[in-house]
Amino acid sequence: MDNLYNPPPLTGLNPYTGPFTQTELQHLLKRTLFGASKSDLDYFAGKALPVVLSELLNPAAVIPPPPIKEYTTSTTATTPDTAIAVGSTWVGDLNNDGTVQSQRRASFKKWWMGLMINQDRSVLEKMTLFWHNHFATETNDVSNAQYVYRHHQLLRSNALGNFKTLTRAVTVDSAMLVYLNGQLNTRTAPDENYGRELQELFCCGKGPDSLYTEADVKAAARVLTGWRNNNTTMTAYFDSTRHDTNPKAFSSFYNNTVIAGRTGATAGDIELDELLTMIFNVQEVAKYVCRRIYRWFLYYDIDASVETNIITPLANIFRTNNYEIKPVLQALLQSEHFFDVLSRGCQIKSPVDLVVGMCREFPMAFPPASDYITNYAHWNYMVTWVSNMQQNIGDPPDVSGWKAYYQEPQFYQIWINSDTLPKRNQFTDTMIVTGYSFGGKRIQVDGLALVQQLNTPADPNALINQLTSYLYRIDLSGASKTQLKQDILLSGQTSDHYWTDAWNLYISNPGNTANTTTVRNKIRDLLKYLLNLAEYQLA
């Protein structure tokens, strides 16, 4: 699969001025949404690129209704949450029982999967996952489901806002204080965990121009002493008695800045603001984050030309706009570089992209929202699949996030291995052939419904052309399409009428059980085959 793509294009950030057809629209939507459904394409059809981008970058609703209690209160819980009615949200109930917290963490993941499957036509869901990967935490380590939910809401509500504001909020967020030991960081026993990751993973990165020192890590840890969690009220607060009040000196990388030691209730906030101002004055911060965004939306290979033509000017935009995220996305997603033919079909889909994309791109009837028990069960099924494919939402491998976005030289190729590729094929096969049933309610790909949405399904050549155009970013060869047509749609026959007659009979007389079954099975087999090819793994 790595041979399907060459080094990145040489184009830059100049606005794209070429044709904006369905091909370009699909490329844009498949990178900014999880999958591009037929309704998405129809909705945006005929609209100019600036209009489409404006809608993608301005979500209508940022804060969705919270997760609810859809689980049965565990009989093993010491303090069961019986006061929370089934169907009501648990996010305001301060229950510290370990068993209940486990059920709620699972509920959170199901809920999040549901949000991605039911996403609006904006980049919000993809950016929320981006920040989860960037400021990675693990629900199992955080443990407290309220902290997990609030951390997620923090990422979601700031996903298209200001990076500096988000970084500050994450620094004193309860979940992060647990995950990277911030709540244990005191003047008598400084914990360097968050101070290190703030620089190494969240702001400056590990590139050749990130020249912060080990002493800078220690100094940052001392600045951040005193922040704690109150596990009764489940809120974060600053404890001045645990704060290091001595001055903190930083290296020449930070212009030899000295942050004066403060005392009193405001010491933590004042020193934190000075620390972040110091870090964000370093030019490498904008470059590092822009590289992360580039790898998320375009491609992993950042060579010298991409660094010069894309990353550096993009970082200038980021700094000029005081670290606002939207101007960066606007510039990147409207650029000639983004729409260059070499930028298309070069990403390997993440497990979330594959699973959520399939749920959105194929007719699949989920129950109405009122049937939350069944929906949460269906969403949980998808959570299990992405986890089995090595992208467990809420629980990335570690603080660095998923390796596909930083591990050289493989990057996205890490998603595909001898364990995960069969599971990817098994997932698409299952959803096409049998689907998944819970409580007597089944979700399954309706291949016939998809084909009926196409222009000329009675023509086997047009049918295959339109399906491959819809599903793939890299087209199949004419010979491959001919072989597919003969082997599957024509059952080895040579005349196109074999399929045309069967389809027309199905449309005119769906009650003809034998013919309808034949047509349905051929569509099933065709889709199953198309989704098992390498081209379907690319976005």
Report which of 74, 69, 67 is spatially closest to residue 99, judged by C-alpha positions: 74
CA 208-209-215 angle, to 5 degrees, is 100
Three-class SS string for 73-111? CCCCCCCCCCCCCCCCECCCCCCCCHHHHHHHHHHHHHH
Question: How close are the terminal C-alpha atoms of the chain, in Å?
Answer: 12
Report which of 489, 484, 483 is spatially closest to residue 502, judged by C-alpha positions: 489
Q: Using the 8-state DSSP alphabet, how is residue 62 labeled?
A: S
Q: Count of CB atoms within 10 A of residue 179's CB?
A: 25
Say yes or no to pLDDT of 40 above 50: yes
Report which of 210, 176, 173 is spatially closest to residue 285, judged by C-alpha positions: 210
Say yes or no to pLDDT of 63 above 50: yes
Q: Please tell me the distance from the alpha carbon of residue 188 to that of residue 185, in angstroms, as a whole number.
A: 8
Distance of CA 336 to the CA centre of its chain: 24
Rg of the chain over Cα atoms, rounded to whole angstroms, equals: 26
Q: Please tell me the distance from the alpha carbon of residue 106 to that of residue 223, in angstroms, as a whole number.
A: 35
Q: Please tell me the distance from the alpha carbon of residue 330 to that of residue 15, in angstroms, as a whole number.
A: 10
Say yes or no to pLDDT of 3 above 70: no
Contact 328, 318 (CB under 8 A): yes
CA atoms within 13 A on the CB side of 228: 13
Question: Residue 314 corresponds to which tokens in the numbers above?
Answer: 């993009």
Say yes or no to pLDDT of 54 above 60: yes
Q: Please tell me the distance from the alpha carbon of residue 195 to that of residue 206, in angstroms, as a whole number.
A: 14
Q: Please tell me the distance from the alpha carbon of residue 242 to that of residue 171, in angstroms, as a whole number.
A: 17
Taking CA atoms, 243 is separated from 110, 223, 275, 300, in Å, by: 39, 8, 15, 41
Mean pLDDT of 347-366: 96
> 28-45 in b/e burial notation, b at 16+ Cβ within 10 A?
bbbbbbbbbbbebeeebe
Q: How confident is the model at residue 510 (pLDDT cuts 50, 70, 90)?
A: very high
Q: Please tell me the distance from the alpha carbon of residue 157 to that of residue 172, in angstroms, as a whole number.
A: 16
Q: How confident is the model at residue 8 (pLDDT cuts 50, 70, 90)?
A: confident
Q: Using the 8-state DSSP alphabet, how is residue 199 labeled?
A: I
Q: What is the DSSP string of 272-285?
A: HHHHHHHHHTSHHH
Number of H helices, E strands in the chain: 25, 6
Q: Please tell me the distance from the alpha carbon of residue 142 to that of residue 139, in angstroms, as a whole number.
A: 5
Mean pLDDT of 377-402: 98
Q: What is the dihedral of CA 408, 410, 412, 416, to 10 degrees?
A: -150
Contact 307, 315 (CB under 8 A): no
Q: How confident is the model at residue 256 (pLDDT cuts 50, 70, 90)?
A: very high
What is the SS3 assignment for 438? strand
Strands 258-259, 436-438: pairing is unpaired
Say yes or no to pLDDT of 79 above 80: yes
Backbone conformation region of residue 244, classed left if phi is above 0, alpha if psi is from -120 to 50, else beta: beta
Contact 456, 462 (CB under 8 A): yes
Q: Please tell me the distance from the alpha carbon of residue 289 to that of residue 295, in angstroms, as a whole number.
A: 10
Say yes or no to pLDDT of 6 above 80: no
Q: Please tell me the distance from the alpha carbon of residue 244 to that of residue 222, in angstroms, as a whole number.
A: 6
Average pLDDT, the chain: 96
Which one-letter amino acid corresponds to residue 492?
G
Question: Residue 41 corresponds to which tokens in the numbers above?
Answer: 């394409």
Q: What pLDDT score does 2 carry?
A: 43
184-215 pLDDT tens trace: 999 999 999 999 999 999 999 998 899 999 99
Backbone angles phi and psi of 443, in degrees to 5: -110, 130
Report which of 74, 125, 69 is spatially closest to residue 98, judged by C-alpha positions: 74
Q: What pLDDT score does 91 carry?
A: 96
Q: Count of CB atoms within 10 A of residue 342's CB?
A: 15
Mean pLDDT of 441-452: 96
Q: Please tell me the distance from the alpha carbon of residue 157 to that of residue 142, in angstroms, as a whole number.
A: 20
Q: How confident is the model at residue 4 (pLDDT cuts 50, 70, 90)?
A: very low
Kindly report the pTM of this predicted structure: 0.97
Say yes or no to pLDDT of 1 above 90: no
Q: What is the dihedral of CA 236, 240, 244, 247, to 10 degrees?
A: 110
Say yes or no to pLDDT of 497 above 90: yes
Mean pLDDT of 411-439: 97
Q: How confident is the model at residue 431 (pLDDT cuts 50, 70, 90)?
A: very high
Contact 32, 56 (CB under 8 A): yes
Q: 443 forms bridges with which residues in the sheet?
A: 436
